[in-house]
């Protein structure tokens, strides 16, 4: 099993040359070069060229490069998609996805542009309709033309559209967030948590990272470099958990347990499903170790 760590994925405005340059040196697992909400309308065309040039220039090392385009229903979306397709980043992030047909449309356009299969599609889930239709949107991953690999939660837009408050602990949103995790993971899609806006509040950020880990998020989207290290720490399996995972795998590898579905380890029941989970933990830890 091989996994791509997506613990920390940092947004930066596509209009900010300094941030784009700095991104090549930061210890995040991915970067989102934004053309949408972080870029003012007057700066969007210039940002499009800047971002495409940055991706083409490369130098991002193991960091996944993602371009967030404007919606195809905006004056910029179609040209953004064409420019992103030509630059061929690791992924193109579509804002405000709420219908599987949008994913098929974009996938077909990418195929028509001849974009290599190494460029996948990520979808922002940030509207009430997307939450209500998450099963259908997730199932779009079964259609290879969509290239759908990752959901990114847009908790700011979700708060705006639903009028739910963005509060520490996120009680008003918890049901929706868990629904997206269930939908995404049912169809093999990674789910990245939304951003923590108060980037100087480190304790609040750490608490939200821990909460995301407990919920089953695969990582978190970030807005500031200071959030990267604590986020990586939170989303890396702790050494004790990796050790326990290796012990679970080892116990099922013993010849005397070959035909067994359940065994006892350190006074606890362990089933083969736990061995599957353990293999995932070890694969993630190994992929992180290989990166660092």
Q: Which residues are annotated as a binding site?
A: 68, 126, 157
Residue number, 223 or 242, with CB nearest to ligand LIB3CWND = 223
Contact 232, 7 (CB under 8 A): yes
Distance CA 254, CA 250 (A): 7
Residue 280 touches which member of Mg ion, ligand LIB3CWND, none, C-beta under 5-8 Å by kind: none
Q: How far is CA 168 from CA 109, 197, 221, in A?
A: 40, 11, 17
CB nearer to ligand LIB3CWND: pick between 133 and 161: 161
What are the binding residues for substrate? 68, 126
Is residue 67 within 8 A of residue 53, CB to CB? The reply is no
Determine the angle formed by the axes of helices 272-291 and 239-253, rounding to 10 degrees. Answer: 130
Chain contacts with Mg ion (rule: CB under 5 A): 126, 154, 157
285 binds, among Mg ion, ligand LIB3CWND, none (CB under 5 to 8 A by kind): none
Residue 148 interacts, among ligand LIB3CWND, Mg ion, none and using kind-specific CB cut-offs from 5 to 8 Å, with: none
Q: Rule CB under 6 A: which residues touch ligand LIB3CWND?
A: 10-13, 18-19, 22-23, 34, 37-38, 124, 126, 154-157, 194-195, 199, 223-225
End-to-end alpha carbon distance in the chain: 19
Give the nearer residue to Mg ion in terms of CB position, either 84 or 158.
Answer: 158
**Shortest distance, CB of residue 177 to ligand LIB3CWND, whole angstroms?**
12
Residues contacting 215, CB < 8 A, separation 6+: 177, 178, 181, 193
- Least gap, CB of 96 to Mg ion (angstroms): 7
What is the rounded CA–CA span in Å between residue 197 and residue 195? 6
């Amino acid at each position: 099993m091989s996994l791509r760590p997506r613990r920390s994925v940092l947004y930066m405005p596509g209009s900010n040359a300094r941030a784009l340059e700095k991104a090549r040196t930061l210890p995040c697992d991915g970067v989102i070069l934004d053309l949408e909400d972080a870029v003012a309308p007057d700066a969007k065309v210039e940002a499009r060229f800047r971002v495409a040039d940055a991706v083409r220039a490369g130098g991002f090392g193991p960091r996944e490069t993602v371009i967030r385009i404007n919606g195809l229903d905006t004056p910029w979306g179609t040209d953004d998609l064409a420019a992103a397709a030509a630059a061929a980043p690791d992924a193109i992030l579509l804002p405000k996805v709420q219908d599987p047909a949008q994913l098929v449309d974009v996938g077909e356009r990418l195929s028509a542009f001849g974009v290599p299969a190494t460029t996948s599609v990520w979808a922002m889930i940030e509207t009430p309709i997307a939450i209500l239709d998450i099963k259908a949107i997730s199932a779009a991953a079964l259609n290879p033309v969509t290239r759908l690999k990752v959901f990114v939660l847009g908790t700011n837009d979700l708060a705006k559209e639903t009028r739910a408050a963005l509060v520490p602990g996120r009680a008003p949103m918890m049901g929706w967030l868990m629904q997206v995790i269930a939908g995404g993971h049912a169809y093999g899609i990674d789910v990245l948590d939304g951003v923590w806006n108060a980037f100087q509040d480190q304790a609040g950020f750490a608490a939200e990272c821990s909460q995301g880990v407990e919920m089953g998020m695969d990582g978190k989207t970030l807005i500031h470099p200071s959030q990267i290290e604590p986020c990586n720490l939170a989303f890396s399996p702790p050494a004790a958990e990796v050790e326990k995972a290796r012990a679970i795998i080892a116990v099922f590898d013993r010849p005397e347990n070959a035909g067994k579905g359940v065994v006892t380890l350190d006074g606890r029941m362990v089933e083969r499903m736990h061995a599957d989970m353990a293999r995932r933990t070890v694969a993630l830890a190994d992929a992180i170790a290989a990166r660092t």
